[in-house]
Amino acid sequence: MRIGIAAAGSGGHVYPALAVAEVLMSRGIAQDDIVFFGGDRMEADVIPAAGFPFVQVQIHGIRRSLSRDNLTLPLKVRTARNVIADTIRQRNIGAMVVFGGYVAGPAALAASKTGIPLIVHEANAQPGVANRLIARKADTVFASYAPALSKLPMAEIIGSPLRSAFSDFDRHEARATARQRYGVDQDATVLGIVGGSLGASALNEIARHLAAVDNRGFDIIHICGAAHTEEFTALSQGVDGWVVEGYEEDMAMLYAAGDLVLSRGGAMTIAELHATRTPAVIVPLPAGGAYQGMNAIDAVDAGGFVVVDQSNTAQVIETVTALLDDPDRLAQMSDALTDSPHLSAATIVADRVLEVASG
């Protein structure tokens, strides 16, 4: 049995796809029989590095500005669809799982063209246009967060698939090793800052302000994004308690080291924070209809997260510093993050894939 998986663009699509692939392998599917489809962004590096076959197609979304690329997009979609369909036939792939990114449309069209079952997973609380369209022809539709039902009424809410490291997460056991890894004091109060797999300029600027707080009583572990590493490494030189990393492959280490995390509200980050019961201040990306704030709504209602608008830098800094000065509140926030659905999501998707592929 061979399975196709389409995921592209960001960690929020790619890492849940890898989590499902891990479970498929634990169910007896050989790694070479799990074929990934994507474009030329992070998936082109991350998926081959994980050891999976990867078929790259040339595809992009609609350009926001006037561009000749938009005129050629329908042809690129058809070409990508045909490449994926040819691979499905050649490799005898029995089912396609689509997680998102620009490859989603061509992958779904290829599944339809070749007559294999299609499963869609929508990561965000506000589904994108592509997934809303392809979900109509899917055999099964999953979503991470309940607000997605307003656009995908047929979806089953299961959470966001997480890799096995999060199932085994133990903050108390991992904390000493994690703090040693980043070079922060074992007894320090620690703030983790992360803007997602690509970094976030707004959070990087907030990090700079937090590092300059008078009489700062906390250390900062700042994941700034690979494109910003040189700039923020230079800025942090000589500043005590400000550790800068461009990228973190093992995010469980950051959560184990920190007492509080300041982050964007991407679906995967929200799922990881919830699953590890890490208190967080969420600064949603303003674009996209405020979907990142919607991703966090369940954890906010439970009392585990606080959401602050990025336009109010002073409020972000005030909220972060107040929480770091209140260990009892942080403990209450962590205790509120129970019953995470995300820890079982990869298993649910993988088992459904095997069911439809063998049917």
pLDDT of residue 354: 96
Separation of alpha carbons 297 and 282, rounded Å: 10
13-58 pLDDT per residue, tens: 999 999 999 999 999 999 999 999 999 888 999 999 999 999 999 8
For residue 195, what pLDDT band results from cuts at 50, 70 and 90? confident
Q: Give the chain's radius of gyration (CA, Å).
A: 21
pLDDT of residue 200: 79
Please name the fold of domain 165-336: Rossmann fold (3.40.50)
For the ranges 282-286, 320-324, 355-359, the one whose mean pLDDT is highest: 320-324
Q: Under CATH, domain 2-159+342-358 is a member of which superfamily?
A: Glycogen Phosphorylase B; (3.40.50.2000)
For residue 127, what pLDDT band results from cuts at 50, 70 and 90? confident
Count how many residues are written for the chain.
Answer: 359
pTM > 0.85: yes or no: yes
Domain ranges of the chain: 2-159+342-358, 165-336
Tell me if domain 2-159+342-358 and domain 165-336 are identical in fold.
yes
Return the closest-CA partner of residue 106 out of 1, 7, 3.
Answer: 7
- Can you state the angle between helices 201-211 and 229-236, rounded to 10 degrees? 10
Separation of alpha carbons 104 and 235, rounded Å: 39
Check if the beta carbon of residue 279 is closer than 8 Å to that of residue 259. yes
Check if the beta carbon of residue 37 is closer than 8 Å to that of residue 107. yes
For residue 12, what pLDDT band results from cuts at 50, 70 and 90? confident
> Does 196 have pLDDT greater than 90?
no
pLDDT of residue 68: 53
Separation of alpha carbons 357 and 153, rounded Å: 24
Please give the C-alpha separations between residue 159 and each of 142, 307, 353, in angstroms, as whole numbers: 8, 20, 16
Q: How far is CA 350 from the centre of its chain?
A: 18
Residue 324: half-sphere exposure toward Cβ, Cα within 13 Å: 24
Percent of the chain with pLDDT over 70: 94
Residue 156: half-sphere exposure toward Cβ, Cα within 13 Å: 13
- Range list of H helices, 92-211: 104-114, 129-134, 164-167, 171-182, 201-211
Please give the C-alpha separations between residue 75 and each of 58, 110, 287, in angstroms, as whole numbers: 11, 14, 28
> Does 222 have pLDDT greater than 80?
yes
Q: How high does pLDDT run on average in the chain?
A: 91
Mean pLDDT value across residues 107-119: 96
Separation of alpha carbons 187 and 4, rounded Å: 47
Lowest-pLDDT range, 61-75, 88-102, 252-266, 313-327?
61-75
246-284 pLDDT per residue, tens: 989 899 999 999 999 999 998 999 999 999 999 999 999
DSSP 242: E
Mean pLDDT value across residues 173-177: 96
